[in-house]
A = this chain, B = another copy of it.
Amino acid sequence: MSRWLEKKESEFNHALKSRDVKKMRALFNKVPTVDLAEFADKVDDPKDLTFIFKVVPSELTADFFTELNDDTQEALLKIFSDAQLVELINKSYTDDIVDFLEDMPANLVTRAIKFVPKERREAVNKLLNYKEDTAASIMTTEYFEFHTDVTVEDAMKVIREKGKTKETIYTIFLRDDKRNLVGTVDLDDLIFANPKQTLDEIKNKEFLYTRADTDQEEVAQKFKKYDLHALAVVNKEQKLVGVITFDDIMDVMEKETSEDIALQSGVVPLKDEYMETKPLRMALKCVPWLIVLIIIGVFSELVLSKFQEGLRVIPALVFFIPVLMDTGGNAGGQTCGLIIRALALKEFEVKDFWKVVWKEIKTALLIGVFVGVLAFGVFMIEFSIPGLIEVAGKTLTIQNKLVISTIVALALFSAIVISKFVACALPFLAVKLKKDPALTSQPFVTTIVDVCSLLIYFGIFMIFYLNGFFVNLI
């Protein structure tokens, strides 16, 4: 919550409970609409909500409603009179109507659509049917489109008259005789231009657009790279069907990132903010991965049960299982995090797979050698501290200590190389299978790598053991 609102909350609540319209209006005047909405989201009583909605200055009601969360919007829509619904719809931009209808129960949508004027109803229905997370799903249909021959003067006149009903006037779009999209003009260039010039003469050299079915994450990348205010959305016939504005893109960037982070942490992405998600729902988002892991965990149980003979002969091998598994998991998690992020930012593409693998392997070898040598040293120091690590009361011989440290160090080296390879390959595999790479989360990589690390660990042990490197074993 904003600091303003925090200071004013008790005043707000007081005005609300005493139905003090004047005081409420005075408070409203000082606070941005988005903060008012945040305040209203906390109100549960429908009567209180209706009162707040009535007090909001009439020119802000549409903005205010758009900023409310789904639950509050639903509560209000349910208690709105027909007149209120009509007013709200008339004042809202088409894409905002679509945004709030998208998450409402079907009966509310049907009722609301009835009140959308015929000429906009088609646009609303079309937008409602676009697939989630595509460019089309976040576009607006309120923008300026002019013929290339229109003069700056005439364009400015139209913008002055009708600009207030458009969601963006900062970029305007140009079409040719065939109604194909052929360019864009920025508002500042309109202002700097000679009034008699045609729009064609001052249009931007760069001409960017996106297709309606492009993923919104890709659209966000384009905005960031080219510092765009707005981007045209075209259909297959190269006709302009809508426009995406930068403010919607900031929301996309944040939402997509939150989803990626949740997935990579092994959580099904939350629909609401953290504090709005109830514990039971949160638990349901966390449980799926944990269950998968318990089940995959059967394999590590199997490996350990098969190698118990080795563990009986050299009990000290057990002590290093946690550090081996953590190192493998963490080394994989590092690669996973970097690769998934770089894929999301389009720093490389699927076709660069071998380049990336080769880079990761070189990196992994370097890390493996470094960590292996260091770990060997750490283990030898541990062994040399009397009473720190002992096996069932008897002291290990120097040679056995050296051999154990070597085995663990080699296992660490292998675990790092393998886990970095797995962690690097899985996200690419996901993209190949048309899945979100973020699904190949660290938990998943960790569990796969665990089994590999244990197998390698005991494999290396067997080589040393069968070749008689251990001495004086009882």
Contact = CB atoms under 8 A, between A and B. Distances in A.
Interface of A: 29, 32-34, 156, 159-160, 163-164, 169-170, 187-188, 191-192, 205-206, 208, 223-227, 229, 246-247, 249-251, 253-254, 257-258, 260-262, 264-267, 270, 273-275, 279-280, 282-283, 286-287, 289-291, 293-295, 297-298, 300-302, 304-305, 308-309, 311-312, 315-316, 318-323, 325-327, 329-331, 333-334, 336-342, 345, 347-348, 352, 355-356, 359, 362-363, 366-367, 370-371, 374-375, 378, 382, 388-392, 412, 416, 442-443, 446-447, 450, 454
A366 B325 contact: no
Contact of A337 (B29, B163, B267, B305): B267
Contacts of A355: 275
A227 B247 contact: yes
Contacts of A289: 330, 334
Q: Which of A33, A280, A339, A341 has the most CB of B within 10 A?
A: A341
A334 to B, nearest CB: 5
A294 B324 CA distance: 9
A380 to B, nearest CB: 12
Given A34-B226, A250-B224, A342-B274, A388 B302 contact: yes
B192 A446 contact: no
A301 B274 contact: no
Q: Which 8 A-B pairs have the closest CB atoms?
A: A265-B337, A297-B323, A227-B247, A300-B322, A283-B366, A279-B362, A274-B342, A330-B443
Contact of A254 (B330, B345, B388, B416): B345
B446 A326 contact: yes
A266 B302 contact: no
A206 B443 CA distance: 45
Nearest to A369: B283
B270 A338 contact: yes
A333 B389 CA distance: 30
A407 to B, nearest CB: 14
B446 A330 contact: yes
B192 A163 contact: yes
A323 B308 contact: no
B294 A371 contact: yes
B265 A336 contact: yes
Contact of A322 (B205, B392, B443, B454): B454
Nearest to A308: B315
Contacts of A280: 366
A433 to B, nearest CB: 22
Nearest to A270: B338
Given A286-B334, A291-B374, A325-B326, 5 more contacts: A187-B188, A187-B191, A265-B338, A298-B378, A304-B319
A256 B169 CA distance: 30
Given A280-B366, A359-B279, A446-B329, A322 B321 contact: yes
Contact of A323 (B34, B250, B301): B301
A391 B311 CA distance: 12
Given A254-B345, A294-B371, A262 B338 contact: yes
Contacts of A260: 261
A122 to B, nearest CB: 27
A290 B391 contact: no
Contacts of A366: 279-280, 283
